[in-house]
Amino acid sequence: MTISPLQKERLLYAPKLPGMLRNGIAEISVKEGQETQSVADQEKIKALFPNTYGKNEITFEKGTNTSEAKKQVVGVILSGGQAPGGHNVISGLYDALKATNPDNVLYGFKGGPSGLLEDDYVEFTDEFIDAYRNTGGFDIIGSGRTKLETEAQFAVAAEVAKKHGITAIVIIGGDDSNTNAAVLAEYFAAHGTGVQVIGCPKTIDGDLKNEDIECSFGFDTATKTYSELIGNIERDANSAKKYWHFIKVMGRSASHVALECALETQPNICLISEEVAEKKMSLSSIADYIADSVADRAADGNNFGVAIIPEGVVEFVPEFSVLIAEINELLAGAKADEFNALPTWKDKYAFIEKGLTKESMAVFAILPETIQQQLFLERDPHGNVQVSLIESEKLFSALVKAKLEERKKAGTYNGKFSPLHHFFGYEGRCAFPSNFDADYCYSLGYNAFMLIQYGYNGYLSKISNLSKPAEEWVAGGMPITKMMNMERRHGEDKPVIRKALVELDGKPFKFFEAHRAEWAKETCYLFPGAIQYYGAPSVCDLTTRTLALEKGE
């Protein structure tokens, strides 16, 4: 196979480990900390997880390894969307496993959790692993979104594990995947299978974080990739001086990606979904906010700018959420067939007008026709609007254009507004991992095996103190149940890991809030450039602005 010069060099990169994991397997001891409890709904979570709830947090440190010496056969699964660094989690897991005992075995289940259920796997070897070190993507074994959540699935998983003599399963995924890991761990414990389950925190969205998990892997690389592109666009905008660029970035439930990109590039506008919800902002008020920046810059002769739009922002607009709920109700059951049978958009519009409340129809009416139609595209498996299909970057540029035309008629605006649109998502999910993600992910995998070797079950691999050099990172583990609460899902109360939204009183948002008025009017663009892999650590090992601000650096 022909590979690029960069890939050839990256395959040779030796990821850095936390100091206490560099001592050699024989010199890694464990220190138990406080007992834990869930972030909320303690009694309910405890009742659902009687065998894995309330366990101690643990930290690894230098000392004599007191773990039981036994052959380990481990299975690993990549679950959910891709994130840079997944291959290094597997590499770190494999290296620790083989360093402990060359006879240890690592199986990779293909295509996500379904590979475990279907017993579709590959046994890793040195040659196999070496071809994927420090590379992006999940193509080493593929990923999938099958959920492990039923008793029947757990029973199949237990049988597959028994067939291969598997002693532990590592699930690499986001909040839903690690929720499934916690439930599977409880099942294995309750049924005396002897199989451990360890999770690793993955998601480019950055919403799997809390006081213990400082950062999910992939966030660093993805936001650096998007920020490079945004910086390039800013440079182009400042050169051509005639376009407003509306850039949508991934982040369905939280705006961590948008905020980090804004901190990296200092655009004129960045919407934060959590603030939109907190202030109960309407579509009209958001459009006015952006239009104010366009008009202020035009008054200075700057008919160009950059606006960052989080992927899921429309769901945080209260009036839009009500509209979505009414549309879901409007097309429930047989009504969907009746609507789809109507021959023209005019007929469908009349159907919609008749079915919505006056308030929601007023919101619907101000939307561009293309966005109106996107609200009635293919439904999700539950019959609901797929909000991710809405081109919110085009929605807001259209609303801003309408506002500016009103201002022109009123004589309060005399600029030019030429919008261009971009969506950055998949570009960042499989990028070559940054040095930070390469190191962090390798450490997560190496650490996951230490949790297995010491007999822990239902734990998340945890690496902290991440804003410092890798030598100062702290390795350990925490019970997954500590992150859980009860939420309403599909009509039932379910135990789930709580998503972390942008904290409006947190340091990263406060820094953004303190500077955005200046950025909105002036041209204060920053140009991060491409991710750097070789050179000064101050550039190559740079952490995210979000993490640096959170740590007061």
DSSP characters for 135-155?
Answer: --SSTTT--B-----SHHHHH
CA-CA distance, 300 to 131, in Å (whole number)?
A: 54
> Are residue 72 and residue 211 in the same domain, yes or no?
yes
Residues 276 and 418 in one domain: yes
Instruction: Work out the widest C-alpha separation in the chain, in whole angstroms.
Output: 80
pLDDT at position 505 over 70: yes
Please report, as a single letter, which amino acid is at residue 286. I
Whether 398 and 265 share a structural domain:
yes
Q: Which of 104, 81, 86 is nearest to 25 (CA)?
A: 104
Across-strand partners of 244? 305, 419
Distance of CA 492 to the CA centre of its chain: 25
331 and 460 share a domain?
A: no
Asked whether residue 485 is assigned to any structural domain, the reply reads yes
Share of the chain above pLDDT 90, in %: 89
Per-residue pLDDT averaged across 21-49, rounded? 94
Q: Does a structural domain hold residue 331?
A: yes
Catalytic positions: 205
CA separation for the pair 450, 18 (Å, rounded) = 13
The 3-class secondary structure across 404-430, one letter per residue, is: HHHHHHHCCCCCCCCEEEEEECHHHHC
Asked whether residue 58 carries a pLDDT value surpassing 90, the answer given is yes
CA-based angle 360:362:364, to the nearest 5?
A: 70
Give 256's Cβ-side CA count (13 Å radius): 27
In the prediction, which pLDDT does 382 show?
Answer: 60
- Residue 389, pLDDT > 90, answer no
Give the helix/strand (H/E) hosting 244: strand 244-249
pLDDT digits (tens, 9 = 90+) for 11-30: 999 999 999 898 889 999 99
In a domain, 18, yes or no: no
Total residues found in the chain within this entry: 553
Assess whether pLDDT exceeds 80 at residue 386: no
pLDDT digits (tens, 9 = 90+) for 246-286: 999 998 889 999 999 999 999 999 999 999 999 999 999 99
In which band, very low, low, confident or very high, does the pLDDT at 82 lie, cut at 50, 70 and 90? very high
Q: In which residue are the tokens 């139609």 written?
A: 373
Last residue of a domain, one of 460, 489, 518: 489
Q: Where on the phi/psi map is residue 280: left (φ > 0), alpha (ψ -120 to 50), or beta?
A: left
Beta strands in 279-409 (DSSP E): 305-310
Crossing angle (nearest 10°) for helices 345-355 and 318-330: 110
Distance of CA 66 to the CA centre of its chain: 36
Over range 177-183, report the average pLDDT.
Answer: 95
Q: How large is the average pLDDT for residues 159-183?
A: 97
Residue with tokens 């360093």, as numbered in its chain: 99
Confirm whether 496 is domain-assigned: no
CATH number of residue 61's parent domain: 3.40.50.450
Residue 250 lies in a domain: yes
How many C-beta neighbours within 10 Å does residue 452 have?
27
Confidence band (pLDDT; 50, 70, 90) for 545? Answer: very high
Same domain, 192 and 62: yes
Looking at the fold, whether 399 and 538 belong to one and the same domain comes out as yes
Type of residue numbered 415: G
Same domain, 481 and 529: no
Do 437 and 362 reside in the same domain of the chain? no
Consecutive H or E run containing 44: helix 42-48
* Span 488-516, average pLDDT: 92
Closest CA to 477 of 208, 209, 198: 198
CA terminus-to-terminus distance, the chain? 44
Question: Looking at the structure, do residues 202 and 103 belong to the same domain, yes or no?
Answer: yes
**What's the number of domains the chain is made of?**
2
Counting residues of the chain whose pLDDT is more than 70, the rounded percentage is 99
Look up residue 91 and give its DSSP letter. H
Please say whether the beta carbons of 371 and 390 come within 8 A: yes
How far is 247 from 295, CA to CA, in rounded Å? 19
Q: Is residue 299 part of a domain?
A: yes
Average model confidence (pLDDT) for the chain? Answer: 95
Q: Do 80 and 140 fall within a single domain?
A: yes
What is residue 430's predicted lDDT score, i.e. its pLDDT?
95
> At residue 475, what are phi and psi to the nearest 5 degrees?
-105, 145
- Looking at residue 286, its pLDDT comes to 98
**Non-local CB neighbours of 177 within 8 Å, separated by 6+ positions:** 79, 80, 113, 171, 199, 202
pTM of the predicted model, to two decimals?
A: 0.95
Using alpha carbons, select from 155, 76, 164 the residue that is nearest to residue 113. Answer: 76
Q: For 496-502, what is the mean pLDDT?
A: 94
**What is the per-residue pLDDT for 1?**
66
pLDDT digits (tens, 9 = 90+) for 420-474: 999 999 999 999 999 999 999 999 999 999 999 999 999 999 999 999 999 999 9
- CB proximity list for 172: less than 8 A, separation 6 or greater: 76, 77, 78, 79, 86, 89, 90, 199, 200, 202
Token digits for 18? Answer: 């936390």
The answer as to whether 405 is a domain residue is yes
What gap in Å lies between CA 332 and CA 326, rounded to an integer? 10
What distances in angstroms separate CA 113 from CA 67, 120, 144, 154, 187, one per listed residue? Answer: 29, 10, 7, 11, 16
Same domain, 193 and 270: no
**Domain housing 527:** 219-429+506-550
Q: Note the pLDDT tens digit of each residue in 201-223.
A: 999 999 999 889 999 999 999 99
Name every residue whose Cβ is closer than 8 Å to that of residue 420 and which is 6 or more positions away in sequence.
243, 244, 245, 246
Distance of CA 137 to the CA centre of its chain: 14
Q: What angle do CA 551, 552, 553 make, to 5 degrees?
A: 95
Residue 336 has pLDDT above 70, yes or no: yes
pLDDT, position 383: 64
Domain of residue 234, CATH code: 3.40.50.460
291 and 367 both lie in a single domain: yes
User: Has residue 13 been placed in a domain?
Assistant: no
pLDDT grade, residue 334 (50/70/90)? Answer: confident
Would you list the DSSP string of 106-139?
EEEETTTHHHHHTT-EEE--HHHHHTTTT--SST
The pLDDT value given to residue 335: 85
pLDDT value for 331 = 86
